[in-house]
Amino acid sequence: MHVKEDAVAERFVLARRAAREAGALLRSRLGSRMHAWAKDVRSNLVTEADTQSEALIRGLIQASFPDDVIVGEEGGPSAGNSGYRWLVDPLDGTVNYTHGYRCFCVSIALQWEGRLTFGVVYDPMADEEYAAQRGGGATCNGQPVSVSPVEKLEDALLVTGFPPYRPDDPNDNTKAFLAFFPRAQALRRDGSAALDLCYVAAGRLDGFWEPGLHAWDVAAGIVIVTEAGGRVTGYRGEEVRVDGGHIVASNGRIHDAMLAVLAGCG
């Protein structure tokens, strides 16, 4: 057990370094001319900054832990048999980034034999590093953070996101957005799921829901919200899966009310 704990701790240190270095790269390239292209639809973009950031992170991990699996948004999974699996989003909020809208981040998480062990999210424009290890609490720039005390949905500031638009997409979020609109105090849509989760952890937002997400979008945030005292589930209140697509995160106090609204959306 101590060997594994030490091994996770070493990887945690590396993840924090990698997130900051990748974030510095993104910050330096913000506003510069760069090639951007659509993966499949116009609202699902990738840029040179995405691929450069992921290459930087992969290089740092592979240099220290060559037998670990790395699953990156842009590069797919690498080979490895150590039991450790990294989930990397090198630029969460790419559309924001291409427009110079300063809501984007780097997200890195680690699984050990399928269990999430830590998460790191770095916002390079605010210079905020959210980090958490299982059982160790959540921090922002080294200071503890915790979820909000809001008790009622009607007093809550909620945030959500919309998957890239595709006709007849089963992950359409419009119905849920309209259902929450009269129930919550206010709604936001920022364009970065990883940062949304961190803001729930820090008590800046009270709840978050979104369909159609990928493991690299949410893995780090799941650990950070949980360690900040929040609750994270699927849409039916089931145990959250990093690859489950649908996610609800909250301060815990308004969680059941959020699930009830989503249940009413069919």
**Residue of 152, 151, 106, 115 whose CA lies nearest to 133:** 115
What are the residue ranges in the chain where pLDDT is below 50?
A: 1-3, 37-44
Instruction: Name the residue range of residue 195's domain.
Output: 153-263
Report yes or no on 55 lying in a domain: yes
Among 143, 181, 144, which residue's Cα sits nearest to residue 160?
A: 181
- Mark whether 72 and 45 lie in a shared domain: yes
Q: What is the pLDDT of residue 188?
A: 97
One-letter-per-residue 3-state SS of 180-201: HCCCCCEEEECCCHHHHHHHHH
Q: pLDDT value at position 43?
A: 45
**Are residues 126 and 228 located together in one domain of the fold?**
no
Q: In a 3-state reduction of DSSP, which class is residue 239?
A: strand
pLDDT number for residue 84: 96
What count of Cα atoms within 13 Å lies in the side-chain half-sphere of residue 114? 2
**Residue 9 resides in a domain:** yes
* 128 shares its domain with 168: no
Residues 127 and 162 reside in one and the same domain? no
Point out which residues pair with 112 in neighbouring strands: 84, 115
The three-state secondary structure class of 95 is helix
Q: How far apart are CA 122 and CA 172, in angstroms?
A: 28
Looking at the structure, do residues 158 and 252 belong to the same domain, yes or no? yes
79 and 42 fall within a common domain: yes
Task: Name the domain count of the chain.
Answer: 2
Give the mean pLDDT of the chain: 91
Examine residue 177 and state whether it is found in any structural domain, yes or no.
yes
DSSP per position, 17-77: HHHHHHHHHHHHHTTS---EEESSSTTSEEEHHHHHHHHHHHHHHHHH-TTSEEEETTTEE
pLDDT score of 244: 79
Do 42 and 94 lie in a common domain?
yes
pLDDT digits (tens, 9 = 90+) for 144-192: 999 999 999 999 999 999 977 656 666 689 999 999 999 999 999 999 9
Q: Is residue 148 part of a domain?
A: no
The per-residue pLDDT for 37 is 44
Q: Which helix (H) or strand (E) covers residue 166, if one does?
A: none
Domain termination residue (choose one: 85, 114, 143): 143
The residue out of 143, 161, 179 marking a domain boundary is: 143
74: Cβ–Cβ under 8 A, 6 or more apart, which residues? 46, 50, 51, 54, 90
C-alpha–C-alpha distance, residues 124 and 19, integer Å: 9
Backbone angles phi, psi at 30, to 5 degrees: -60, 130
Q: In CATH, what number is assigned to the domain containing residue 191?
A: 3.40.190.80
Contact between 187 and 158 (Cβ < 8 Å): yes
Same domain, 168 and 218: yes
Show which of 93, 114, 143 is a domain's final residue. Answer: 143
Burial 13-30 (b: 16+ CB within 10 A, else e): ebbbebbbbbbbbbbebb
Q: Are residues 109 and 185 in the same domain?
A: no
Q: The domain spanning residue 79 has which CATH number?
A: 3.30.540.10
Examine the domain organization and report whether 52 and 120 are in the same domain.
yes
Same domain, 114 and 160: no
Q: Is residue 257 part of a domain?
A: yes
- What is the pLDDT at residue 42? 47
The pLDDT value recorded for residue 50 is: 86
CA proximity to 250, closest of 210, 192, 190, 191: 210
Do 96 and 168 share a domain, yes or no? no
Q: Does residue 35 fall inside a structural domain? A: yes
Q: Could you tell me the strand order of the sheet in which 128-133 lies?
A: 76-77, 69-72, 84-92, 105-112, 115-123, 128-133, 138-140, 143-144
Question: Residue 33: its pLDDT value, please?
Answer: 65
